[in-house]
Structure 1
Amino acid sequence: MTEKYVLIFAKTPYHKTPYDQWLRDSDITPVIITTRDFAGGYAHMDKVFAFDNYDSSLMVEKAALELAREYPPLAVFARAEADIIRAAKLRELIGVAGQGYDSALAYRNKVVMKEHLKSSGIKLPIYEVACDGYSVVKFVEEHGLPVVIKPFSESGSFNTFIIRNMDELDDYLNNPPVANMEIETFVDGKMYHVDGLVVNGKIKICQPFEYINDCLSFREDKYIGNVALDPEHALYQRLLDAVESVIAYLPKSENMAFHCEFWHTPKDEIVFCEIASRTGGGMIATTFRESLGVDLDKLWLYAECGIALNIEAPPYKPCGCICIPPLKGIFLKKPNIIENEALLFEEFTGAINHQYNGGVKSGLFLIGYVVSGKSSEEVAANIHDTALWFAANSEWAL
C-alpha cells in the first residue's frame, strides 16, 4: 500500500500541535517543517526539518518543494500567519487541493480583503494604501485624526500605530516601518472577535468573543483578555451573521479555521476590522477548546486530510483567557496556579531569571491562563482579578 503523507508547516510547539498523536489512528504520516526553536519537541518523529530565520528564509520554500516531491502529500497544512501564503503557493505548484493563492492573499492582505468587501454592504472603515508621506498627510487632511496605520500582512498588532495628534504623526513620518502600510479611519468602539471552522465550504463551528483591553495593551504593560460570549448575549447572533457575510464575499477556501475581528460602535453598528484564515493567536484556541470542547487545529487538520469528522453542536461552558506580557526587567518568580480556583489552564512561555524588554505583539505573552466562571460577565471579572493576583504574587527585578 502506498504510504500517505501530509506536509505540515509547524510554527507551533509540539505540546500545542502533536500532529503525530492526532494522526495516530490514520494511515497518514506527517512531514514536519518547523523552526529551530520548536524542532526539539518534534524530534521523536521520523520526518522533521528545521530552519533558522523561519519566517523570512527562502530555504523553507525550497525544502518544502523538495519534500513535496519526495513525499507527495495528500494535503499541505499551515496554521500560522507566516505560512498561509507559502502553503497556498505550494499547493498550486504541486497540484494539491486546499486554499489557493487568491484566497490566502485575501485573508492575509488587509487592503485586498477590504477591496473584496467594499461592495458587500458590510460596514468598513475608510482606508487607503499609505504608499508615502504625501498619501498619509493627504488622508489625515481629508478625514482628520485619529487614524490607524498598520501593515498589509502582519499579525498580533505588530507595527500598528494609532495616530492621535500631529506630534505622533510627525514621529511616524520621521521613522516609518519598512513594511507596506495601510491607513484607515479610527473606529470608536469595543472590539469583538469570532473564531471557528469552515469544512467543505460551510461554517461548522463558530463562537464570538469579547476583548478585554485591546490588541495594543501590551505596549502599556497591560494584559489582553478574551471572553466567550454567552449565547444569550445581545451581539452573539449579530456577530455570527457578520462573519458569515464576510466569508461569503471573500475567495472561497473549502477548509479553514478563521479569526475575524469587529468593532461594535456607540451607534450600535458592527464594523469589520480584519479576518485571517487561521486559528486565533495567544490563548484563543486553548480557550475555544476549554469552552466548547473541540480543538480547532485538530479538526482543521482532519478536514484538510479528508478524515471523516463528526461535528455536533458543542456544549458551551463560560470561559475566557488572559495573556500577560512581560515587563522590562528580570522575571524572578511566578505564582502557583492552584492558589487561584478560577484558573483551568496555564501556559508559561517564559523563563525564570530571564531578562525581558516588555511586550512585542499581542499574540506573544509571558504567561497565559484560561479562566472560568458561571457567565461571561463573571469570567470577565475573574480575568481582572487574575491580573491583580498575578501582579501581587509574581516577582521582578525591574
Structure 2
Amino acid sequence: MTKIAVIDDGPKSDYAAMLPELAGEPHVYGHHELAGTEGFAPYEHVRDCEFVSYPEPMTGCSAAADGSFTHRITDNEYDLERTARIRQDLGNPGRSPQSALSLRDKEMMKRTTEQTAPAARYARLETVSDLTGFVAETGYPVVVKPVGQGGSREIVVLHDDELVEFARRHWRDGLMVEQSVEDPMYHVDAVIIAPGYRSVASSGYLRSCPGAPAGEKASSLQLHPEEKFAARLEEFLDQVLDAFATPEASAYHLEVLHTPDDRLVLCEIASRVGAHRIPQLTRATHWVDPRRTRLRQPVGLPVPSGPAEAPEQRGSISVVPQGRPVGAPPRPPFERIDHYEVNQAPAPGAKPANSSSHPCFVTVRGADLDEVEQRAPQAESWLMANLVEPAEEAAGTVAGEVIRT
C-alpha cells in the first residue's frame, strides 16, 4: 500500500484533489493551518516548520522503524535539503542532499553551472570588504542577496552612494553579490519526468520580481511554445540542467537574462514549480497543472498530458500594496480577463517584502502576444485605480473567483 509523507508549504494545498486515488493516505506536516483536511491521514500544523527539525524525525526515523511511509515528498523549495537527507538515510530514490544544496545555495548554483551556462559576475560575501572590492571592479549597480532565500526576499539593489546606507544595516551571514544586468528577464517553468514526460512553459517578465519590495507590479507574458525564442529558452534550460545531478522527476523555475548582444545569461534556477500566479498561467495556456503533475509521478500515479496545441496566449499581472493599507479591487470589468484571484496570504496594507506580496492577480487573454501586451497594461491601470482603501474594504471579493468568457 502507498503511504506518503508530505512536508507542505501551500496555504491552499488540496492533496486529496491532486491525489484522489490516495484519498485518506497522505500524512501532511504543514507550514500553514489548512482548512478541509478530511482527505488527509493525520494532518499536523507545525509552527515555524521551516526552522524546526520536528518533521524530519517524524517522516524519517520513526517511519523507518515500521516501514509505514513508502514516499516522502515536498512542494516547498526550502524543504528540499531536508527531504533529500531523509531519502538518503533510508535508501529511497530521489534527489541527493548535495544536489538539493546546489539548487538552494545561489552562489553554489552559479558556480555549478559555470561549465555549461554563462551567468552574470558574482561573488560570495564574508565581510563588507568583499562587497566594496566587488563594486570597485564592476561598478554599480550591484545586487546583494541571501544565498538561501527565494521570492526576491531581502534582495537589495545598490546604486551610486547607496553602499554607505547599506553598511548601516546589521550584517548577516550567507550573502552574495552579483552584477546587476538591466536586460529583459524571462522565466522558464518545467516539469520533467524521465522517460518521456516534458512540460515546459516560457514567459517574459514585464517587470522583474526584484522590484516587488519597492512596490512594482510583478507581471509576465507567456510565450507561445512554437515561437523560436521559446525553443531557445528551453534549450538554455537543458544547458543549465546539464550541470546538475537531477532525479528522474522534478520541477524547475529558471530565470534568464537576454543581453543586448543576444546572449542568454543565467539569473537563478530553483527545483520547484513557479509560485503564485505562474501555475494558473500555465494551466490556462498549456492545460497542464504543474503542481499536480509534479506530485503525482513520484508516488506512481499516472500523469495527464496537455493538448497537442496551446490555446490563446495569456499574461498575468500581480498588484502589490504599495506600502500603504489597501485591499483587493473588485473584479476587472473586461471580457478579456481569464482569471481573477484574491491573495489571502498577506495582511491588507502589508509592506511588500517579496514577489508574493500582492492582494490580487489576473490573467489576461489574447489571440497572440501583441494583443496580450496591449491588454495587460489596461487591466493593470484599472486595478491600480480601483485599489480598495481601508474605509471601503467591507464588500471584498471572493477568493479564487474564475471568470471564463
Judge same fold: TM > 0.5, yes or no.
Answer: yes
Matched, 1:196 2:190: yes
Quote the Cα distance in structure 2 between the aligned partners of 1:294 and 1:314. Answer: 11
Distance 1:102-1:310 versus aligned 2 partners, 3 A rule: same
Matched, 1:248 2:242: yes
Q: How do 1:1-398 and structure 2 match up within 5 A?
A: 3-14=1-12, 17-26=13-22, 29-35=25-31, 37-42=32-37, 45-65=40-60, 68-69=63-64, 72-120=68-116, 122-165=117-160, 167-176=161-170, 178-200=172-194, 204-311=198-305, 314-317=308-311, 318-331=313-326, 334-337=329-332, 339-350=333-344, 355-397=348-390
C-alpha contact 1:77 1:87 (8 A) present in aligned 2:
yes
Quote the Cα distance in structure 1 between the aligned partners of 2:358 and 2:182. Answer: 26
- In structure 1, runs of 5+ residues without a counterpart are none
- Look up the equivalent residue of 1:356 and give its one-letter code: G
For the residue of structure 2 that corresponds to 1:42, the secondary structure is: coil
Shift of 1:31: 1.1
TM-score, length-normalised on structure 1?
A: 0.91
Higher mean C-alpha deviation, range 101-110 or range 321-330:
321-330
For the residue of structure 2 that corresponds to 1:45, the secondary structure is: coil
Shift of 1:206: 0.7
Shift of 1:164: 1.3
Shift of 1:103: 1.4
Shift of 1:289: 0.9
- Look up the equivalent residue of 1:119 and give its one-letter code: Q
C-alpha contact 1:201 1:252 (8 A) present in aligned 2:
no
- Look up the equivalent residue of 1:328 and give its one-letter code: G
Shift of 1:274: 0.8
Higher mean C-alpha deviation, range 309-318 or range 103-112:
309-318
For the residue of structure 2 that corresponds to 1:113, the secondary structure is: helix
Over the residues paired in the alignment, what is the CA RMSD in angstroms?
2.3
C-alpha contact 1:193 1:208 (8 A) present in aligned 2:
yes
- Look up the equivalent residue of 1:80 and give its one-letter code: N
For the residue of structure 2 that corresponds to 1:259, the secondary structure is: strand
Quote the Cα distance in structure 1 between the aligned partners of 2:144 and 2:227. Answer: 32
- Look up the equivalent residue of 2:142 and give its one-letter code: V
Matched residue count: 389
- Look up the equivalent residue of 2:349 and give its one-letter code: Y
For the residue of structure 2 that corresponds to 1:262, the secondary structure is: strand
Distance 1:143-1:203 versus aligned 2 partners, 3 A rule: farther
- Look up the equivalent residue of 1:348 and give its one-letter code: V
Quote the Cα distance in structure 2 between the aligned partners of 1:296 and 1:351. Answer: 21
**Moved >6 Å (runs of 4+):** none
Shift of 1:156: 0.9
Quote the Cα distance in structure 1 between the aligned partners of 2:151 and 2:27. Answer: 28
For the residue of structure 1 that corresponds to 2:274, the secondary structure is: coil
Shift of 1:41: 3.7
For the residue of structure 1 that corresponds to 2:120, the secondary structure is: coil
C-alpha contact 1:221 1:327 (8 A) present in aligned 2:
yes
Distance 1:351-1:230 versus aligned 2 partners, 3 A rule: closer
C-alpha contact 1:292 1:314 (8 A) present in aligned 2:
no
TM-score, length-normalised on structure 2?
A: 0.89
Quote the Cα distance in structure 2 between the aligned partners of 1:372 and 1:82. Answer: 33
Distance 1:299-1:236 versus aligned 2 partners, 3 A rule: same
Quote the Cα distance in structure 2 between the aligned partners of 1:185 and 1:250. Answer: 23
Residue by residue over 1:81-108, the C-alpha shift from the partner in whole angstroms, topping out at 9 and shown as x without a partner, is 2222211112112222111211111111
C-alpha contact 2:212 2:357 (8 A) present in aligned 1:
no
Quote the Cα distance in structure 2 between the aligned partners of 1:112 and 1:48. Answer: 35
Shift of 1:60: 3.1
Quote the Cα distance in structure 2 between the aligned partners of 1:183 and 1:164. Answer: 13
C-alpha contact 2:2 2:71 (8 A) present in aligned 1:
no
Quote the Cα distance in structure 2 between the aligned partners of 1:356 and 1:67. Answer: 43
Distance 1:231-1:59 versus aligned 2 partners, 3 A rule: closer
Quote the Cα distance in structure 1 between the aligned partners of 2:356 and 2:270. Answer: 14
Quote the Cα distance in structure 2 between the aligned partners of 1:297 and 1:34. Answer: 16
For the residue of structure 2 that corresponds to 1:385, the secondary structure is: helix
For the residue of structure 2 that corresponds to 1:307, the secondary structure is: coil
Shift of 1:63: 3.0
C-alpha contact 1:288 1:294 (8 A) present in aligned 2:
yes
Q: Structure 1 vs Structure 2: percent identity of aligned residues?
A: 23
Shift of 1:277: 0.5
Query: Which one has a larger percent strand, Structure 1 or Structure 2?
Result: 1
Residue by residue over 1:179-219, the C-alpha shift from the partner in whole angstroms, topping out at 9 and shown as x without a partner, is 40111122231000111111026761111100011112223
